[in-house]
Amino acid sequence: MARLHGRRGRVYMGIASDTAEASPLPFIATWSMNFVTDKQDVTAMEDTNKVYVAGLPDASGEFGGFYDDASAQTYTAATDGQPRKFYLYPDRSTNTKYFFGTVLPDFSVNAGVSAAAAISASWNAASSIVKVG
């Protein structure tokens, strides 16, 4: 198991629809993923502490970078409500380890007088998000 530097990460997403092949998103600088499981409180009388049972797992995340006016990036995906193929490579130099599935992304763009135009997107799973490798 090796430690990784983020500089070789890469996010791929289908821009046109869930049937479109995923392609690399340009100028992405950050990403994050969250895997959490619902927990239901089943604490009963005379338990010595709270007790929980696990429900369904959830997958979501974010990525961000710099705005590219030559690409639709995630704008189209955010406005048509269709799931998109999604691949996240923590280290693109090893194509054998990645996450994939379909996601529903949201899109945001920000700019300022003293800042580069930046995009950010948050996403929620539209299918199972699977780790490969």
Reported as a single tens digit per residue, the pLDDT across 27-75 is: 999 999 999 999 999 999 999 999 999 999 999 999 999 998 887 767 8
CB-side exposure of 49: number of CA atoms within 13 Å?
A: 1
Cβ count near 109 (within 10 Å): 14
- Report how far Cα 31 is from the mean position of its chain's Cα atoms: 7
How does residue 80 score in pLDDT terms, banded at 50, 70 and 90?
Answer: confident
Residue ranges of domains in the chain, CATH in brackets: 6-31+62-132 (2.30.110)
pLDDT recorded at residue 3: 83
pLDDT in tens, 85-130: 999 999 988 778 899 999 999 999 999 999 999 999 999 999 999 9
CA distance 102 to 85: 4
Q: How many helices (H) and strands (E) does the chain have?
A: 1, 8
